[in-house]
Structure 1
Amino acid sequence: MLRRIGSVGSISEAARGAGISYKAAWQAIETLGNLAGTPLVEKAVGGSGGGGAQLTAAGHRLLRAFDLLTAARHAVLTQLDQEQGSNPPALGLAALGLRTSMRNQLPCVVADVSTAGAAVRVELALSDGTRLASRITQESAQLLDLRKGMAVLALCKATAVKIFEVEAATHANNVLRGRVVRVSGDAGAAEVSLQLSCGLSMVGFAGDDGGLKVGQDCVAQVDDSAVVIALAG
């Protein structure tokens, strides 16, 4: 979006060129500005259209930094792929640079994207085919340009994940089967780590029943609105 604004000198034109709404474009600009700690876009006075938008010096520096980091990342991953094939996968390596308070970070592939009222429902597939759904805004889906087959990361806080015995699980969406590998804390408020059927780990908190044991088969349940989608790099 910043690159388009710098090229055409207009937020509305940049949004049209990217195939997103003006609102989504502004949200992206505001989010980037918040992360950078300084404005990246400013109003441009004059011109044939009576005004527009242009990048600030900080905006130009950010684009330059992005280009340099992208080139360096591509070179590193290409070299590793040549040396070791695709194990570990490039997405997993790129995700190592992501620092967040969200304990659960699961590499997935977009299986389906559909509109659900005012929101967008994204079906994600783990490596063993297990499905995990995320419900996001239409603006977020536009900005991420989500497409079937795209590699992404599914993120969610441990506090949003409820761990139940298999028999106590509901029939709601986002119920993932696994085996308990660690339990800490008091019964009724215990933090539980599961090894999912795909081999990944998921951390959550036990339901009111508590008393879960290491080695026990359980399920993890998380609301689709609590699943965040991230793109590496």
Structure 2
Amino acid sequence: MDPDVTPELRAGAVTFGDDDAALLRAIDEHGSVSAAASALERSRARATGRLDDLEAAFGPLVERTRGGAGGGGTELTSGARRLLARFDRLRTALSGVAATEESVLEGRVLDRDGELATVETPVGELRALAPGEADRVQVSLRADAVTLHAPDEAPPAGGTSARNRLAGTVSAVERGESVAHVRVAVDGDDGPVALVALVTLESVDRLELATGRTVVATFKATATRATGLPDDAPRRS
């Protein structure tokens, strides 16, 4: 699976990701939070605190027993196993559809800072990885690299590592079993420009994503790739 793809399940403000799945699986394998934390090279306090946060959001995840012939220990609840199964299904879905779509824009390099460049595109200036020396470039953005926000929840420009920020309107939501491709129309110099985001169904519901919904799309400069175009290459219409 592409390392840029980060599967997450959300309950309120708490997200369940790879590190959390590893913690539950280590508890299941080693039989206690202490042993799991040691195997993962985490402190017991950190593991216990994270487990408390997860249980407050997702419900009981472990059952603890004390003493007895077996000496006690910790086991996963049926809810924890269902959560892991949901997470595995999401990971499988993402690995199957991530990077199957991307948005492509043409632009011209305005400035360079090492491997990063500021590129003027029809939707405004974007920061992108731009190896080489070409002035005219094609900017590609994978659907799994785009994060969508409600306008009143979007990070301020320059206030996040996701340096690129565009406002637009949802034009379509294509739902799968676990994820959806959300198409966003962004105002451009020559009319609307299509941007595609890959999001979980939980995010679709939480953000109430539907046709006509106003959203803000953010994406990191390092996830935005610019490749050189010859000056005499035909321009995209």
TM-score normalised by the chain length of structure 2: 0.45
Q: Which has the higher strand share?
A: 2
Q: Which has the higher contact order (CA 8 A, sep 6+)?
A: 2
The structure whose residues are more often helix, as a share, is 1
The TM-score normalised by the length of structure 1 is 0.46
